[in-house]
Structure 1
């Protein structure tokens, strides 16, 4: 029975922390755009990270693939 004197306040403290974190997340706009990051991976924005030498090689390779593609 004595353990209840420890568990009840401990559970109330954990509940208060969880509510506080939820309120913080809502106030800091953590739930505003749920679909944006999922669609963002579809955009091709890697060209800024590719060095110019490698970019030229990639363009040449894609042109060669286009010529060999029998569509």
Structure 2
């Protein structure tokens, strides 16, 4: 029976620690950005553009080298 009390005390301690971490993160502004998630799907993916440009340049150079 005493093991249950020990486990209960440990679980309450862990729960309080996680709650304190959550409160500190909210107070520090961790969750303040409410605008960006709503428009994130409208942003262009820059990495894909750069890869596409480099692929186009490689294809052009390959065509030029085969034509010569």
State the TM-score, normalizing by the size of structure 2: 0.54
Give runs of ≥4 in structure 1 deviating > 3 Å: none
Distance in 1 separating the partners of 2:9 and 2:34: 35
**Structure 2 match to 1:14:** 14
Aligned residue runs from structure 1 range 15-34, under 5 A? 15-34=15-34
What secondary structure sits across from 2:42 in the alignment? coil
State the superposition RMSD in angstroms.
Answer: 2.7
State the TM-score, normalizing by the size of structure 1: 0.53
- Shift in Å at residue 35 of structure 1? 4.2
Tell me the alpha carbon deviations over residues 7-57 of structure 1, each in whole angstroms, 9 at most, x when there is no partner.
Answer: 12111211111111111210221221234124123122628x627xx27x4
Unmatched segments (≥5 aa) in structure 2: 57-68
Aligned residues: 54
